[in-house]
Amino acid sequence: MSKLFNELMPYLEKSMAIDTALTLLSWDTETLAPQDAADYTAKVVGLLSGESFSSIVNDDVKKLLKELEKEKAQKELSENEKAIVRNLIRKMQQMEAIPKEDYQAYSEFAAKAQGIWARAKRADRYEDFAPVLEKMLDYQKKFAACRAKKGEDLYNLLLNDYEEGFTKKELDIFFSKIKESIIPLVKQVAAKSNAIDRSFLYGHYDIEKQKEFCRYIAGYVGFDFNRGVIAESEHPFTTNLHNHDVRITNHFHEDNLDSAIFSVIHESGHAIYEMGVSDELTQTPACNISMGMHESQSRFFENIIGRNHAFWEPIYKKLVSYFPEQLSDISLETFVHAINKAEPSLIRTESDELTYSLHILIRYEIECALFSGKATVKDLPELWKQKYKEYLGVTPKNDTEGVLQDVHWAMGSFGYFPSYAIGSAIAAQLYYYMKEHMPFEDYLKEGNLTVIRDFLRDHIHKYGSAKPTMELLKATTGEEFNAEYYIRYLTEKYTKLYDL
């Protein structure tokens, strides 16, 4: 190990330890902590965030990084060490211009914001959340302004944090393609909405049985219960302390069967990614995977695998055995059609593959408006309704199923949403490559997901963020990021499904 890198290690380790604690505190708050704990625990989160900040943003680390960037020093580094340095430099650039006190105060505030959002959502009281959202937005703008170059667009900075190389320029092109191809397709499908029946997926589905089946299917797709746990939360999510402790949550509805199933497959996709990061990279800065790549794997498992006819062939009878009363008269064919039915709807996380990208488009446009000053926090409920009407032809009857539905803004995640669409596009690109190089559907029919998972692990998961997302995608598929695959995938799939 190079002497310089060796000197960096204690800072990396301290930062990793504190960040792991912060991850656990956040997990615990979402899944278990008692309701009155928030203010006292937020103080702890603020203090630890301040420690995390100064464990990296300090003169010693800055000096070391300056030295490590030099060609001579780089030569002495292993590939992994180079990746760690590269990721750390990126983090330093994002944080060094922010005053520590502000970062700490923000972190304490953010630790409370999610609870306020959850209560406002339950009570349908946007007015309770609005001041928090205002403050959150101010913080994000202020922090972005601290590090922006002269004239640089603040929203672009945030977009680039979640997915390197993606700014409004790239996303405008991406989303205009989506609009052009997907909106007409959605209209064609909507015209044939009676062609597919989903009604049997609603009704009474015992939650304990749902839980059992969801555990089964998580294991079936590759979730390793020796290295992970499943809990419950308002909004399903994945987190991890390291590659040997990966956690997902789920959310159950007694009157619906497929929501929990596809949530758990989605989160298992994230989890399998984290479990696949190599032991050499976990607990280092080179395991902070880009959100686009992360969502590519969750969406790959949820949709390309999970909604595939071939996937259900070997296991549908298992599902029927859990719910014989509701499903024994439902054929595999009918079931697979139902879980793929596309129709304009209000809730992003429950939406089908085809309309999904329009939900993202709406959020992207709203975030653009918020950052350009064309809209204010006060305008959001109305703007949300207008855009849903415009793009999907449906109107939320309240804010709970409208602007309050997602947790992201309460977490300060502005610029995150486009990653879902980028991820879906990467998933489609990977799918076409894999189909060409392996009998993909045959593996699914055999219940053999190992080959598929191994491919993803060996080409993508194990690298963590040691290689940039777009470089990894090119190395895997031999091609640059190409949104056409996504459009082709949706077009082929829905043309066939609806016989268009």
Give catalytic residues, as residue numbers: 267
Residue 293: closest CA among 146, 410, 456, 407 = 456
- Chain position carrying tokens 């829905």: 494
Residue number with CB closer to a second copy (37 or 92): 37
Closest separation between CB of residue 94 and a second copy, Å?
Answer: 23
Separation of alpha carbons 292 and 430, rounded Å: 13
| 33 versus 330: smaller Cβ distance to a second copy | 33
d(CA 315, CA 309): 11
Give residues in contact with a second copy (CB under 8 A): 13-14, 16-18, 20-22, 24-25, 28, 32-37, 39-41, 43-44, 47-48, 51, 225-229, 231, 241-246, 282-283
Question: What does DSSP assign to residue 256?
Answer: B
Cβ atoms < 10 Å from Cβ of 499: 8
Quote the least distance from Cβ 79 to a second copy, whole Å: 22
* Residue 467 burial (CB count, 10 A): 18
The CA distance from 253 to 215, in Å, is 16
Residue 241 vs 411, nearer CB to a second copy: 241
402 within 8 A of 346, measured Cβ to Cβ: yes
Long-range Cβ contact pairs of 429-432 (< 8 A, separation 24 or more): 429/473, 429/477, 429/479, 429/481, 429/482, 429/485, 429/486, 430/296, 430/300, 430/456, 430/473, 430/476, 430/477, 431/300, 431/304, 431/485, 431/489, 432/485, 432/488, 432/489
Which two three-digit tokens encode residue 392? 């999907």
Closest contact distance (angstroms) between CB of 232 and a second copy is 12
Quick check: helix, strand or coil at residue 152?
A: coil
Measured from the CB atom, is 242 or 387 closer to a second copy?
242
Q: Which is nearer to a second copy, 283 or 340 (CB)?
A: 283
CA-CA distances (angstroms) from residue 273 to 33, 444, 483? 27, 19, 22
Decide: 198 and 341 in contact? Cβ < 8 Å: yes
- The Cα 372–Cα 155 span in angstroms is 8
Q: What CA dihedral angle connects 200, 202, 208 and 209, to 10 degrees?
A: 10
Considering the complex, what minimum distance in angstroms separates the CB of residue 67 from a second copy?
Answer: 24
DSSP string, 172-224: HHHHHHHHHHHHHHHHHHHHTGGGS--GGGBS---HHHHHHHHHHHHHHHT--
Give 105 or 146: the residue with its C-beta nearer to a second copy.
Answer: 105
| Closest approach of a second copy to the CB of residue 213, in Å | 20
Cβ-based nearer residue to a second copy, 48 or 392: 48
SS3 of 485, please? helix
CB of 328 to a second copy, least distance (A): 28
- Give min distance, CB of 43 to a second copy, in A: 7
| Shortest distance in whole angstroms from residue 226 CB to a second copy | 5
Of the pair 12, 130, the CB lying nearest a second copy is at 12
Element (H, E) at 140: helix 126-147
Residue in this structure with the two tokens 């950052």, named with its chain if needed: 371
Question: Do strands 228-232 and 238-242 pair parallel, antiparallel, or not at all (unpaired)?
Answer: unpaired
User: Within a 10 A sphere around the Cβ of 491, how many other Cβ atoms?
Assistant: 16
Whose Cβ is closer to a second copy: residue 234's or residue 401's? Answer: 234
Tell the smallest beta-carbon distance from residue 454 to a second copy (Å).
19
